[in-house]
C-alpha cells in the first residue's frame, strides 16, 4: 500500500512516501480503506521522537475517515460502508474499559502515536473503533472530527464541568482542539474568552462563537482578562510551561484549569499558594471515552458543532502539512486526501 512513514526521528525530511505491506486483519478487526486523514500536533511530536522506543517503520495519523475494505472473523459489518475511526485503542475487557473509561485503560494506545495510523491507503483497527459516518459530510470534513472533538469534549464537559453562565478561557482558537472547545463551551451557553496568534485569526474566532478574542502577540492575556473580567471559572489549555502560572492567576477561587497538552514544554514551575489558598483545581485530561464521539457525531449532524478545516493536501504532500502545522499559521485542521 502507499503510505507516508518514518524510519527514524527528526525534522520533516524523515517523512517518506513509498510502499509498505498492507495490514492483515484478524478476528474482531476491520481493515479500513483510508479516504482522508487529518493532521494533529501529536504527529509532529511523534515524528520528533517523543516515544524513542517506537518500532520502525511507523505510520502516523490519528484522525481517519474511510470505507470498510475487509472484516475479520466475528465482525458483522458491511464491506464498502463509510466509517469514521475512533483514535483511541484499548483492551476492551478491563474494569476501566467496561466502565466506559477506556481512555484510562492501562493498555490504551492512540492510532499514529503508539501503533500504525492513517497516513496510508489502509489501516487496521478493532471493530470497537468503528464509528458511524456523519451525514452530509465529506471524508475530509469527517476526518477533522475524532481526536480534537474527543479531547475538547472531555476537557470542557467531563473534566471542566462547564455550565451555563460560566466564563471559560480557551487558549489557541485556531488549533484543532481550541476551535472544537469554543464550540462545545458555547453549546452549554458559557461565555468564551480565547486567544489567537495574529490579527487575521481574530474575526475567525468570533465567527466560531467566541465572545472575546485576544491577540496574544500584541497583548498580555493575563492583564486583559483580570482588567476586563476579573477571573474566569474554567481554563482549557495545551500551551504548558510558558503560560501555566498566568492561567492559574486568572482562575477564580474554586475554579478549574484543565490541561490537555504542553506544547511549550512540560517542566513547569507554579506558585502552589494559588492552588491551595484559592482552591484552584489543576486537572489533567487526555482524549476521552469512545462513547463521547457518538454524541459529538449527532451534534455535528444537527449542525450544532462543525469541523474546521484550514487546507486539504494529497497524501504525498504530508511534509508540507507538517510544515504548516509547525508554523502555527493555520486556523483549523490540515487534512491529507488519500
pLDDT digits (tens, 9 = 90+) for 205-217: 999 999 999 999 9
| CATH code of the domain in which 184 resides | 3.40.50.720
Q: Is the pLDDT of residue 268 over 90?
A: no
* Residue 301 forms part of a structural domain: no
Total tally of structural domains belonging to the chain: 2
* Residue 85 forms part of a structural domain: yes
For residues 37 and 134, state if they share a domain: yes
Q: What are phi and psi of 326, to 5 degrees?
A: -70, -20
Q: Is the pLDDT of residue 241 over 90?
A: no
Answer yes or no: pTM beyond 0.75.
yes
Q: Quick check: 317 and 338 in contact, CB under 8 A?
A: no
* Residue 290 forms part of a structural domain: no
* Residue 64 forms part of a structural domain: yes
List, for residues 73-113, the tens digit of each pLDDT value: 999 999 999 999 999 999 999 999 999 999 999 999 999 99
Using alpha carbons, list the distances in angstroms from residue 158 to 152, 185, 285: 9, 12, 9
Using alpha carbons, list the distances in angstroms from residue 254 to 132, 184, 229, 231: 39, 22, 16, 11
For residues 316 and 230, state if they share a domain: no
Burial of 250 (0-12, 13-18, 19+ CB in 10 A): buried
For residues 62 and 76, state if they share a domain: yes
| CATH code of the domain in which 66 resides | 3.90.180.10
* Residue 187 forms part of a structural domain: yes
For residues 159 and 200, state if they share a domain: yes
* Residue 300 forms part of a structural domain: no
* Residue 295 forms part of a structural domain: no
Q: Is the pLDDT of residue 265 over 80?
A: no
* Domain, as residue range, for 200: 149-284
For residues 140 and 215, state if they share a domain: no
For residues 198 and 237, state if they share a domain: yes
For residues 30 and 139, state if they share a domain: yes
For residues 171 and 136, state if they share a domain: no
For residues 169 and 263, state if they share a domain: yes
C-alpha 44, offset from chain centre? 13
List, for residues 2-57, the tens digit of each pLDDT value: 999 999 999 999 999 999 999 999 999 999 999 999 999 999 999 999 888 899 99
Amino acid at each position: 500500500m502507499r503510505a507516508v512513514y518514518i524510519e527514524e526521528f527528526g525534522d520533516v525530511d524523515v517523512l517518506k512516501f513509498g510502499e509498505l505491506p498492507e495490514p492483515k486483519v484478524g478476528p474482531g478487526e476491520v481493515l479500513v480503506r483510508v479516504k482522508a486523514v487529518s493532521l494533529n500536533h501529536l504527529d509532529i511530536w511523534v515524528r520528533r521522537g517523543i516515544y524513542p522506543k517506537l518500532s520502525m517503520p511507523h505510520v502516523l495519523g490519528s484522525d481517519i475517515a474511510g470505507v470498510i475494505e475487509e472484516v475479520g472473523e466475528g465482525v458483522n459489518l458491511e464491506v464498502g460502508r463509510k466509517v469514521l475511526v475512533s483514535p483511541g485503542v484499548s483492551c476492551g475487557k478491563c474494569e476501566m474499559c467496561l466502565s466506559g473509561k477506556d481512555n484510562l485503560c492501562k493498555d490504551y494506545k492512540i492510532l499514529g502515536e503508539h501503533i500504525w495510523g492513517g497516513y496510508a491507503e489502509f489501516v487496521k483497527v478493532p471493530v470497537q473503533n468503528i464509528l458511524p459516518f456523519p451525514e452530509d459530510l465529506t471524508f475530509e470534513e469527517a476526518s477533522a472530527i475524532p481526536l480534537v472533538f474527543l479531547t475538547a469534549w472531555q476537557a470542557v464537559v467531563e473534566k471542566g464541568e462547564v455550565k451555563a453562565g460560566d466564563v471559560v478561557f480557551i487558549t489557541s482558537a485556531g488549533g484543532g482542539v481550541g476551535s472544537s472547545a469554543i464550540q462545545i463551551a458555547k453549546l452549554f451557553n458559557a461565555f468564551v474568552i480565547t486567544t489567537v496568534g495574529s490579527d487575521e485569526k481574530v474575526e475567525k474566532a468570533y465567527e466560531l462563537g467566541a465572545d472575546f478574542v485576544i491577540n496574544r502577540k500584541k497583548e498580555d492575556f493575563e492583564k486583559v482578562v483580570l482588567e476586563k473580567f476579573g477571573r474566569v471559572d474554567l481554563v482549557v489549555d495545551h500551551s504548558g510551561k510558558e503560560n501555566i502560572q498566568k492561567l492559574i492567576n486568572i482562575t477564580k477561587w474554586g475554579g478549574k484549569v484543565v490541561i490537555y497538552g504542553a506544547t511549550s514544554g512540560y517542566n513547569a514551575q507554579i506558585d502552589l499558594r494559588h492552588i491551595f489558598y484559592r482552591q484552584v483545581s489543576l486537572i489533567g485530561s487526555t482524549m476521552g471515552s469512545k462513547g463521547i464521539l457518538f454524541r459529538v457525531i449527532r451534534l455535528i449532524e444537527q449542525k450544532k458543532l462543525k469541523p474546521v478545516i484550514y487546507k486539504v493536501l494529497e497524501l504525498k504532500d504530508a511534509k508540507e502539512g507538517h510544515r504548516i502545522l509547525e508554523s502555527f499559521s493555520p486556523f483549523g485542521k490540515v487534512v491529507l486526501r488519500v
